């Protein structure tokens, strides 16, 4: 079965290439659906396939840029990308990312890097998961209350509404973002993107995992537009990351291109699936993905604290990540297939009825 393995010209390791296509496909689906690059899924996946860790990170970042571009193109056609907001946020994201990267070097010098990064990751993911499910619970309560009084809730109503307070910050220039349907101080998206970029720089991730919830809960933009706009950001920051990692010689372009073949299809499926799933469906599954990611990091932390159980916890962390990726991509794939089937049925039915009328 030699033809199933291809030699990577730079890393010099033979890689099972169908694994790269499958990984790209799965992460493409999840990325297009949630608006994130998915570094937490791809890096361990590439490592398992045989890439040294430095190449796994660099190759992941490079493929992330191409994949997010594909998803952004598709989301853009649905009107899900707020380019004005995205362009303003780019400055904050890049500034924050550099600040985070510098902080990592400082932590490296004082020798606290691994512990700080992992614990920060756990705290942050706990906060995000809490935010998602607290929001869902509050929205349900509002729905019940509206039902009890015989009213109907606005389709765009949300549970947590922190953004309303943040929109009251009146520091000029005030900007209207038509696509997102918000008006706020330009410093709000810049500040939020700086903070999320800083976190991404510290954690060594693309940033979608923190930026997507920040766009929803702090900026108050609809879920679908948060997903599309975040992908635009991921594409730009991914390209920036690809440039820096390739300059450091840690990108395997061939692997990134093979992954892109799977990701091109997966990203389209994930993006189109957002058409058939309501905002809160996306939020709930995003929360579950965050929990999956958090569990895998807790297991990595446990293996550091208890070296005796390291082989078990490392395996369990891998199984958790791959299980979360497979389970969530399967859900999105089913939502996509069901949606396409129903839409085609609806499109066909008027013709059938008009034929009967004739």
Pick 91 or 133: Cβ nearer another protein: 91
For residue 88, state whether it binds another protein (rule: CB under 8 A): no
Quickly list DSSP for 331-345: HHHHHHHHHHHHHHH
End-to-end CA distance of the chain: give it in Å, rounded: 60
For residue 50, state whether it binds another protein (rule: CB under 8 A): no
Using the contact rule CB under 8 A, the part of the chain among 82-90, 94-102, 207-215, 308-316 near another protein is 94-102
User: Cβ 119 to another protein, closest distance in Å?
Assistant: 19
CA distances from 208 to 34, 165, 244, 268 (A): 8, 24, 19, 18
For residue 63, state whether it binds another protein (rule: CB under 8 A): yes
Dist. CA 343–CA 273, nearest whole Å:
12
φ/ψ bin of 157: left (φ > 0), alpha (ψ from -120 to 50), beta (otherwise)? beta
For residue 95, state whether it binds another protein (rule: CB under 8 A): yes
Using the contact rule CB under 8 A, the part of the chain among 183-191, 203-211, 293-301, 321-329 near another protein is 183-191
For residue 211, state whether it binds another protein (rule: CB under 8 A): no
Pick 19 or 24: Cβ nearer another protein: 24
For residue 69, state whether it binds another protein (rule: CB under 8 A): yes
For residue 187, state whether it binds another protein (rule: CB under 8 A): yes
User: Cβ 301 to another protein, closest distance in Å?
Assistant: 24
Query: Could you say which residues in the range 100-119 bind another protein, by CB under 8 A?
Result: 102-103, 105-106, 108-109
Angle at 217 between CA 156 and CA 290, to 5 degrees: 110
For residue 163, state whether it binds another protein (rule: CB under 8 A): no
Judged by CB under 8 A, the residue of 138, 143, 161, 174 near another protein is 143
Dist. CA 208–CA 37, nearest whole Å:
6
Query: Could you say which residues in the range 274-313 bind another protein, by CB under 8 A?
Result: 274-275, 278-280
For residue 150, state whether it binds another protein (rule: CB under 8 A): no
Dist. CA 134–CA 9, nearest whole Å:
48
CA distances from 83 to 73, 226, 309 (A): 12, 11, 48
């Amino acid at each position: 079965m030699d033809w199933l393995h291809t030699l990577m010209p730079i890393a010099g390791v033979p890689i099972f290439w169908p694994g790269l296509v499958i990984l790209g496909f799965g992460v493409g689906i999840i990325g297009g659906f949630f608006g994130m690059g998915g570094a937490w899924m791809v890096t361990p996946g590439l490592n398992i396939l045989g890439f040294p860790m430095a190449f796994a990170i660099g190759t992941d970042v490079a493929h992330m840029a191409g994949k997010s571009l594909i998803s952004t193109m598709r989301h853009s056609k649905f009107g899900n990308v707020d380019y004005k907001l995205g362009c303003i946020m780019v400055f904050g994201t890049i500034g924050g990312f550099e600040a985070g990267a510098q902080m990592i070097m400082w932590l490296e010098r004082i020798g606290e890097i691994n512990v700080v990064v992992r614990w920060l990751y756990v705290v942050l993911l706990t906060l995000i998961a809490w935010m998602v499910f607290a929001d869902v619970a509050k929205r349900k309560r509002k729905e019940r209350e509206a039902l009890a009084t015989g009213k109907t809730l606005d389709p765009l109503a949300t549970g947590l509404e922190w953004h309303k307070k943040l929109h009251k910050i009146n520091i000029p220039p005030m900007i209207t973002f038509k696509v997102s349907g918000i008006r706020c101080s330009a410093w709000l998206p810049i500040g939020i993107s700086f903070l999320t970029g800083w976190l991404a720089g510290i954690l060594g991730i693309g940033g979608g995992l923190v930026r997507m919830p920040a766009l929803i809960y702090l900026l108050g933009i609809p879920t679908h537009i948060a997903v599309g706009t975040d992908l635009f950001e991921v594409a730009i920051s991914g390209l920036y990351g690809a440039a820096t990692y390739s300059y450091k010689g840690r990108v395997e372009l061939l692997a990134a291109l093979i992954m892109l073949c799977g990701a091109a299809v997966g990203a389209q499926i994930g993006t189109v699936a957002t058409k058939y799933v309501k905002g809160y469906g996306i939020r709930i599954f995003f929360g579950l993905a965050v929990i999956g990611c958090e569990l895998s990091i807790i297991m990595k932390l446990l293996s550091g604290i208890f070296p005796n159980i390291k082989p078990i916890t490392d395996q369990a962390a891998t199984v958790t990540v791959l299980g979360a990726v497979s389970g969530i991509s399967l859900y999105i794939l089913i939502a996509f297939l069901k949606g396409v089937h129903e839409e085609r049925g609806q499109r066909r039915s008027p013709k059938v009825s008009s034929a009967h009328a004739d």
